Structure 1
Amino acid sequence: MSKVRKVHVSEGLGGYYFDDLLAIKAGAGRDGFFYVGTPRVPGQRMVRQPGESISIMLELDSGEVGFGDAVAIQYSGVVGRDPVLIASEYSPHVGSYIAPVLEGRELSSLRDISAELEQITDENGQQLHTGLRYGASQAVLHALSLVQRRTMAEVVADEYGSAVSDVPVPVLAQSGDDRHSGADKMILKRVPAITQGLFNSIDKVGAKGEVLLGYVEWLRDRVLKHGGEGYEPVFHLDVYGMLGRIFDGDMQAVADYVSMLAAAAEPFRLRLEAPVDEGTRDGTIEKMVELRQAIRDRQCEAEICADDWCNTLTDVRAFAEAGAADMIQIKAPDLGSITSCAEAVCVCRANGVKAFLGGTCNGTDQSSRVTANLAMAMRADLIYNKPGMGVDEGLMIVVNEMNRVLALSASRSKGDVGVSAPTLSAHASTKEVSGAST
């Protein structure tokens, strides 16, 4: 059994930016890539500022180093989430609170160690920032994989009695505001779910939804023109609660509009993420339950996905048990330790809800690889391409990592040592289906 000799820390960049969602929804102006105006979220010195990360490194007595990256999502400090993760402010917490728990510790169970990380409190008796718990648990998992000489996916699967998926988890790509050329990239690479396009303000959706409707029609025509035979992506659009806002909280009107969007998307399926935001978890759940029933009453097959106000394992359980969504985004940095994400997948599955193991464009290469392994281990229904909003880079990281897991798993199942398995495409199915689920 290997021990942690020393905990090291370094400050770094995130894969995107911290954006002030309150200021953006209130109409913050744009000047090229900059947002202009006064920030409203505590911790934001600008409406848009560079993302940051904190790398937590565990030096083992073998000399190997397992590491994970503490990150926070693009829209931090809102809808019940922890504050913006400023590296200079939070990196000292690693030495003060995390190192004493891990240094000299034998690496045993990911679940046991993660549970301890969740119990750490600061001098004010508060839990550590979710991002720090997320990064520290990544480091533990990476270190365990080094000690056990196995993939991170295999380590997680064993701890949860699962079996590593034998197909890639379908990917949802995100493009940021570059939602037209970004969609073209996704179509070229036959991404199963497209596109998370930052529909987070009135001008991007339209006063009555006309801009978003036009985009859906454009996206449908684009896929039909360039997608090729057999390519049937799901149109998964995150609207940041804007539908509830533009229709004044009238779920019947929202359902009428969703039915219109679904018809415009045909022959492709439509899923809308965070269609309403009532300012509280319970209020949002209540409206989403009402909306979901109204959509069904119209015999519309569009799905809705929960995101905002669904930040913790307790929140995931509340949304799932209420039947408030067809899919829940398990936003990894918001849940704290990655074991909470694994347990959230189990909660979704127990309630017949699809599990979208999300994360953030503001993550890092390492946090993205870790969550790709987690998704394969827990057989999630969907995963983000991440980090960043450029499509290609994040897609490369998560797809290649999943294919490495597939190749190693296939090789080991045959008893091969040092022999590569045949190349497996990340797009074995161009339909975004629950093929990775049990």
Structure 2
Amino acid sequence: MQIKDVLLAPGNGAFFYDDQAAIGAGAIQDGFIYFGEPVTPGFKSIRVRASALSIGLVLTDDTVVWGDMMNVQYSGAGGRDPLFDVAQTSDLTSRVMTPRLLEVDASQYLDACAQVFKPCKQERLPLAVEYGVSQALLRAAGHLHRKTMAEVVCTEFDLPVPTSRVPIYCQSGDAREINVDKMILKAVDVLPHGLINSQRKFGVNGHTFMDFVKWVATRTRQIGRPGYHPVLHFDVYGWIGQEIGLEPQQIADFICRVADTVPGFTLNIECPADFGSTKAQIDNYARIVSILDDRGSSARIVVDERCNTLEDIRLFAEARAAHLIQIKTPDVGSLADTARAVLLCKENKVGAYVGGSCTETDLSAQASVHVSVATQADMMLAKPGMGVDEAFSIVGNEQNRLLATLKRHRAPTEDVG
């Protein structure tokens, strides 16, 4: 067997874990911290530094390949796994995962994932564990086959080797204006997210949000290079539903009004409302999508909350309960399931957005790029962190290096120079 030892190293995610319920309930922000009592189980304060755990697989040639485990920023919200705990995860990994990893054929990626991710005591493993271990296994398979991680995914899923880049989407965090300027100057494909996660940011009847949308479009025209025309993507964290109401017709009407303020732009609205359960989310989002399509609106609905696992994604895709599905990689678990999720979206003619979280690491971001490019997702998140520069550099450079490598692998072997 190709794995002879397993290493663990505590690490840092690139941002913070936040108690979404407490923030949504009106926690006061002071500088970078929030005052108030946490609401979501596991949080000792509303904002907690993001921890991670690295897992290294020592191969028989002494090469060590790594993957990183962590959870998403809003852990414990919308049906997600609870707050990440390094000590608990390290103990579980040592007891359960290490013996399994020492027995698998690491050159066979999907088979290895299937073996090591079997339930433990009839329960699914924590998704953070699946995520980190699947990254390390993908790197191991790439090393053993002398291929890129993307080529391993293509081989395992019988996909053609890609030639096209995947559009990159950046998020602004709270430093909206400065980061929007950075995104425009860097000609980011999709922008800016906006972090509209409170009533103050959304405004009475959504007026604050609408003003921000119009400002982003105007700023794009003012300082963007000639011909630059990004997709505008805003995450409103359910605030349309909270402020306007949970009637699909009213939500669709509001979204159409927003789209009308930025003619000529494609408008993505992520998480317009939270209907409280996966079934209710599917039923109501499907209605909103149908209304927007019937009107010929340029607006697109993006689902995030209540759509976490591969099974959730299948249900949303088959019901066409979104125009674009965020495949939130740490919530999906194994990167093999991220690949399956993209292909499932394509099969159902729904957009596939390989996302993730600001709490991730450089390693998890780079591995996500390979899966995104291999499966030709519709867009992928610049991650980790809440800054634009670092995330756009990590994801953009990895994609460019990958495409250059794939081009060389496709070229004739003889010397043409």
Equivalent of 2:231 in 234, 256, 272: 234
Between the aligned partners of 2:287 and 2:183, the Cα distance in structure 1 is: 33
Specify the alignment match of 1:23 in structure 2: 22
The answer to whether residue 380 in structure 2 is matched with residue 388 in structure 1 is no
Equivalent of 1:403 in 400, 410, 414: 400
- Any conservation in 2 of the 1:235–1:265 contact (CA below 8 Å)? no
Q: Quote how far apart the aligned CAs of 1:117 are.
A: 2.9
Counterpart residue type for residue 26 of structure 1: A
Specify the alignment match of 1:336 in structure 2: 333
Specify the alignment match of 2:51 in structure 1: 52
Equivalent of 1:295 in 292, 307, 325: 292
Counterpart residue type for residue 111 of structure 2: D
Identity of aligned residues (%): 39
The answer to whether residue 105 in structure 2 is matched with residue 129 in structure 1 is no
**2:353 counterpart SS class:** strand
The answer to whether residue 143 in structure 2 is matched with residue 158 in structure 1 is no
Q: Quote how far apart the aligned CAs of 1:104 are.
A: 4.2
Between the aligned partners of 1:129 and 1:197, the Cα distance in structure 2 is: 30
- Any conservation in 1 of the 2:107–2:144 contact (CA below 8 Å)? no
Equivalent of 1:414 in 406, 411, 415: 411
Between the aligned partners of 2:286 and 2:103, the Cα distance in structure 1 is: 49
Q: Quote how far apart the aligned CAs of 1:141 are.
A: 0.4
**1:265 counterpart SS class:** coil
Q: Deviations over 1:206-241 (max 9, x none)?
A: 121001100011001100101121111000111111
Q: 1:297 to 1:106 in 2, by over 3 A?
A: closer
Return the TM-score normalized by structure 1: 0.93
Q: Quote how far apart the aligned CAs of 1:386 are.
A: 0.2
Specify the alignment match of 2:308 in structure 1: 311
Counterpart residue type for residue 279 of structure 2: D
- Any conservation in 1 of the 2:73–2:357 contact (CA below 8 Å)? yes
Q: 1:45 to 1:297 in 2, by over 3 A?
A: same
Q: Quote how far apart the aligned CAs of 1:416 are.
A: 5.0
The answer to whether residue 36 in structure 2 is matched with residue 37 in structure 1 is yes
The answer to whether residue 191 in structure 2 is matched with residue 194 in structure 1 is yes
The answer to whether residue 107 in structure 2 is matched with residue 108 in structure 1 is yes
Q: Quote how far apart the aligned CAs of 1:118 are.
A: 2.6
Counterpart residue type for residue 328 of structure 2: K
- Any conservation in 1 of the 2:66–2:135 contact (CA below 8 Å)? yes
Between the aligned partners of 1:66 and 1:391, the Cα distance in structure 2 is: 27
Between the aligned partners of 2:168 and 2:119, the Cα distance in structure 1 is: 34
- Any conservation in 2 of the 1:118–1:336 contact (CA below 8 Å)? no
The answer to whether residue 143 in structure 2 is matched with residue 146 in structure 1 is yes
Q: Deviations over 1:179-216 (max 9, x none)?
A: 11111110000000001121111111112100110001
Specify the alignment match of 2:75 in structure 1: 76
Counterpart residue type for residue 402 of structure 1: Q
**1:74 counterpart SS class:** coil
Structural RMSD (CA):
1.5
Between the aligned partners of 1:208 and 1:416, the Cα distance in structure 2 is: 62
**2:176 counterpart SS class:** coil
Q: Quote how far apart the aligned CAs of 1:294 are.
A: 2.1
Specify the alignment match of 1:205 in structure 2: 202
Q: Quote how far apart the aligned CAs of 1:419 are.
A: 11
Q: Quote how far apart the aligned CAs of 1:116 are.
A: 2.1
Q: Quote how far apart the aligned CAs of 1:276 are.
A: 1.3
Specify the alignment match of 2:356 in structure 1: 359
Specify the alignment match of 2:255 in structure 1: 258
Equivalent of 1:181 in 172, 178, 183: 178
Unaligned runs of 5+ in 1: 421-438
Counterpart residue type for residue 30 of structure 1: Q
- Any conservation in 2 of the 1:182–1:391 contact (CA below 8 Å)? yes
Counterpart residue type for residue 52 of structure 2: S
Q: 1:415 to 1:317 in 2, by over 3 A?
A: same
- Any conservation in 2 of the 1:164–1:379 contact (CA below 8 Å)? no
Figure out how many residues of one structure are paired with residues of the other and give that number.
417
Specify the alignment match of 1:347 in structure 2: 344
Deviating beyond 3 angstroms after TM superposition, the runs of 4 or more aligned structure 1 residues are 415-420
Counterpart residue type for residue 330 of structure 1: I
Q: Quote how far apart the aligned CAs of 1:411 are.
A: 1.1
Return the TM-score normalized by structure 2: 0.97
Between the aligned partners of 1:265 and 1:86, the Cα distance in structure 2 is: 43
**1:12 counterpart SS class:** strand
Between the aligned partners of 1:286 and 1:158, the Cα distance in structure 2 is: 36
